[in-house]
Amino acid sequence: MQRFLQYINGVFEEGASSFESLDPASGQPWALMPAAGPADVDRAVRAAHDALHAPAWAGLTASARGGLLRRLGDLLSEAAPRLAALETRDTGKIIRETGGQIAYIAQYYHYYAGLADKFAGQHVPVDKPDMEVFLRREPIGVVAALVPWNSQLFLSAVKLGPALAAGCTVVLKAAEDAPAPLLEFARLVHEAGFPPGVVNIITGTGADCGQVLTSHPLVARVAFTGGPETARHIVRNTADNLAYVTLELGGKSPVIAFADADLDNVCNAVISGIFAASGQSCVAGSRLLVQRPLLAPLLARLCEKAAAIRIGAPDDTGTQMGPLATRRQQSRALALVRESVAQGAQLLCGGSVPDGFGGGFYFAPTILYCENSDLPCVREEFFAPVLSVLAFDTEEEAIAIANDSKFGLAAGVFTRDLARAHRLVRSVRAGVVWVNTYRAISPMVPFGGFGESGLGREGGAEAILDYTRTKSVWLNLSDAPLPDPFVMR
């Protein structure tokens, strides 16, 4: 059984305790993971706080910080096959996806490496002729970054990249489900040459690790990706340290297909949006809204394609869909499908655990037709390969259904009518809207949601500013003594 270590202050070490990680394809333990306790978390935060002010990091130029980030990106490209194999083993994501995705994540570090010396303060032309005022951008401080198991190297990059470019230091908590890729990623951080304490990588339970980290008095910034309930705990945890918080949360993203849309393109986009990564994506297109003339042909094509998806071992390059990451998620998906069918949803395909996979956490590609939006499968985020389909007649009805959700992370719009596409882009409440495509990303583009899909944005050039504080500097240019000291100037 493989054994992984946590990374604190430049040292690889055991945690306060350990726990087993299960292989989702078999349901059997395959590795021992370090569980950080409160003392470990405290040491990691204090190491980050000391490193924040130490000359080895604070004394670096912005260009030098960019050089370290560029080196990290290069190492990530080289290590992509090794990290992809680990992610596939620990999460069940298929190797054909993890390999390509991890190789692309290097671009995020290269992007923020290039931006490290491009953001700046500014001169302020104030209304006082004897004063010169300028603004400095300084690192906000120690950052607590918390990521879930799915796409964890990507979700870490959109936090580490801008944070390190801005000059912050970071304690990164990997999810206790499938933390292997991030614990191995620590070796790349070490090899890249970041000073001890600048990046610390740990994992552990919510109570002993996550809560202690987000409420720590030396943490100035919390960047979290995960579910809304955990996010509420984090917000409460920051009541004492008053840390600045950004939250990238769940989704129930609508894919809206109009009758004039290209059938093949819609079908491929829907398959990508809900069955890729076994539906375990925050932007999963789990609600399909179809204009009625397109409903029958699209459903027939989708059911045919869903039935043909090759389910298998995630490390097999021929596999198109692997297992879910945890037994807990498999059980939840099964229960929600059954509850939805009991309340009136029509099961068109799937809805069960496929045969022949032993104790693995597999779930069949599932499509449900729903007469209304009140069903659990339409309201709740599954994080599983379950698609809920609703019909609409008019553009106004499509917008109303799309916006009838507590979430607002992403949306897809499929139509050949450019004017209609622009109207939908304006009207649909979502932080990301894809038109005639789905699931596209770039380091240059901000990402985030509305409502219970979170607060703030990640990615893009402006993300660096969220990891800085503004310092206003006033210079008196006059040689004359200050006037009346009892009057504010």
CA–CA separation, 343 and 123 (whole Å): 62
**Cα–Cα distance measured from residue 399 to residue 393, given in angstroms and rounded to the nearest whole number:** 11
**Contact predicate 165/68, CB 8 Å:** no
What's the rounded Cα separation, in Å, for the pair 258 and 140?
A: 46
Provide DSSP, 306-322. HHH--B--TTSTT-SB-
Q: Is-contact 224 245, C-beta < 8 A?
A: yes
Tokens of 43: 């040491």
As a whole number of angstroms, the distance between CA 158 and CA 71 comes to 16
Q: Which residue in the block uniquely carries the two structure tokens 């206003």? A: 472
Return d(Cα 189, Cα 71) in angstroms, integer.
9
Joined together, the tokens standing for residue 446 give 């901000």
Q: Angle at the Cα of 185 (from 182 to 190), degrees rounded to 5?
A: 135
Task: Compute, in degrees rounded to 10, the torsion defined by CA atoms 317, 318, 320, 324.
Answer: -60
SS3 for 125? coil
The SS3 assignment for 141 reads coil
Q: Is the CB of residue 113 less than 8 Å from the CB of residue 70?
A: yes
End-to-end CA distance of the chain: 69
CB 289 within 8 A of CB 392: yes
3-state secondary structure of 60: coil
Residue in the block written with tokens 């100035």? 220
293 and 259 Cβ atoms separated by less than 8 Å: yes
The catalytic residues are 248
Angstrom distances, CA of residue 472 to CA of 136, 264, 331, 483? 7, 56, 54, 22
E strand spans, 242-334: 244-248, 254-257, 287-291
How far CA 300 is from CA of 263, 310, 349, 426, in Å, comes to 11, 18, 11, 31
Nearest to 161 by CA among 108, 203, 206: 108
Give Dmax (Cα) for the chain: 87
> Which 3 state secondary structure label does DSSP give 131?
strand
Strand 366-369 vs strand 346-349: parallel, antiparallel, or unpaired?
Answer: antiparallel
